[in-house]
Amino acid sequence: MERSQLGQLLLSGVPGPELDSQTAATFRRVTPGGFILFGRNIKSALQLRKLIDDLRDLSPVEPIITIDQEGGRVSRLREIGSEPPNAQQLRDKGDAGLILRHGKITGRLLRLFGFNLDLCPVLDISFDDEADNSLRGRCYGKTVEQVIALAGAFNDGLRAEGIASCGKHFPGYTCAKIDAHHELPDIDRTREQLDAAELAVFKHFIDKIDSMMTCHAFYPALESTRTPASLSRAVVAGLLREEFRFNGLIMTDDLDMGAILNHYGLEETIRLAITAGNDLAMICHRIPNVEDAWKTLERLPSAELDRALENIHRFKAKMAPPDAFSEAEFQRRDAEVWQLRVDTLGEEKARERSPENGKRSPVETY
């Protein structure tokens, strides 16, 4: 296997709103399989499209270009436009048609900038809407049936517009009592409890979603050692791939989160992520370390590398090209987001943004 192919197993963040020469040179050497963008990368509509075009021009292999565009506080494009309602606001409105519309609007907006994957929908069940585990406002339901119906509507709308979807956070994160951005949560649920709730949702979406994101939490019912699900072969290869027979792309959540950084070095993290059965290892913030991660991949079993490359190739074969960009078209599509917000929240409440005061969660600021 050529070393140049191995970078396809990495999903990298980007430092800022423009590509500096050093970062561009690194990306040309490594050829990451994809790039994930955050608020730090977004200053204007035209600038964002140029950045994505520049990233696409770096590689002979079309890259995955992705983002977390959910709604509410986890809406990276609110930096330059309207903030869509979040999943809980749409859920409380009780109109699946609005959620289908949200998926379609989101797909059209992302296609305009050159994205081909949205890291949505969240498939976690909300057992407690006020839980301090980074998921506040992001869950489509309090029951299996509600999440399936409403997250399914968003998923259908998004995919209908040519944007691939990602179910997160496998195998079900909302019983976490702490935020994995800071430390590894223990989720003490029995296999029977997981099967009846969290896993029932993910199992429903096995053939309806393009990719899955594995999360950084420890599930004693699924893994005998205190290993995060994202690095566990029992969870990723055993449960998701073999037992549930998921054939789409599997990626880790951000490997720069405290749940991982506090316990593993970079080389061990990359080795465990890929040998667990993930196809893409996500490095969002330690961007200079992407090259070290690339070198680590050379030392992994060829069977694991071939498996991941095959899944990435299959995913990329289905990616849709960008729409033509214009500022006027961005304004039209952003107006659709605003109207959805008004129709969901009402005119007065629509003018209120998500809380900006005080310390913001890492999920908002990353």
What's the pLDDT tens digit per position in 247-294?
999 999 999 999 999 999 999 999 999 999 999 999 999 999 999 999
Q: Residue 32 and residue 198: Cα distance in Å, rounded? A: 32
Q: Look at residue 162 in the predicted model and tell me its pLDDT.
A: 98
Percent of the chain residues topping a pLDDT of 90: 90
Q: Edge to edge, what strands does the sheet with 64-67 contain? A: 117-118, 64-67, 34-37, 10-13, 281-283
Q: Look at residue 354 in the predicted model and tell me its pLDDT.
A: 62
Residue 4's pLDDT band, with cuts at 50, 70 and 90, is low
User: Does 358 score more than 90 pLDDT?
Assistant: no
Cα distances (Å, whole numbers) of residue 280 to 42, 175, 209, 213:
24, 25, 16, 9
Residue 341's pLDDT band, with cuts at 50, 70 and 90, is very high
Q: Look at residue 365 in the predicted model and tell me its pLDDT.
A: 46
With CA atoms as reference, report the closest residue to 76 among 119, 130, 23: 119
> What is the mean predicted confidence (pLDDT) over 292-304?
96
Q: What angle do CA 157, 161, 162 make, to 5 degrees?
A: 120
Residue 273 vs residue 352, higher pLDDT: 273
Look at the domain 19-348 and name its fold.
Answer: TIM Barrel (3.20.20)
User: Does 81 score more than 60 pLDDT?
Assistant: yes
pTM: 0.95
Q: Look at residue 83 in the predicted model and tell me its pLDDT.
A: 97
> What is the mean predicted confidence (pLDDT) over 307-325?
97
Cα distances (Å, whole numbers) of residue 355 to 72, 74, 278:
10, 12, 35
Residue 7's Cβ-count burial label (10 Å; 0-12, 13-18, 19+) is buried
User: Does 364 score more than 80 pLDDT?
Assistant: no
Q: Look at residue 359 in the predicted model and tell me its pLDDT.
A: 41
Whether residue 121 is preceded by a cis peptide bond, meaning omega within 30 degrees of 0, is yes
Whether residue 301 is preceded by a cis peptide bond, meaning omega within 30 degrees of 0, is no
Q: What is the dihedral of CA 92, 93, 99, 105, to 10 degrees?
A: -120
Q: At what angle do helices 266-275 and 290-297 cross, to 10 degrees?
A: 50
The single-letter DSSP state of residue 130 is: T
Mean pLDDT of the chain: 94
Which of 82-96, 122-136, 158-172, 278-292 is predicted least confidently? 122-136
Q: Look at residue 191 in the predicted model and tell me its pLDDT.
A: 97
> What is the mean predicted confidence (pLDDT) over 223-238?
97
Strands 64-67 and 117-118 turn out to be parallel
Q: Look at residue 1 in the predicted model and tell me its pLDDT.
A: 55
Copy the structure tokens of residue 357: 């005061």
64: β partners: 34
Q: Look at residue 204 in the predicted model and tell me its pLDDT.
A: 98
Q: Residue 143 and residue 278: Cα distance in Å, rounded? A: 28
145: β partners: none
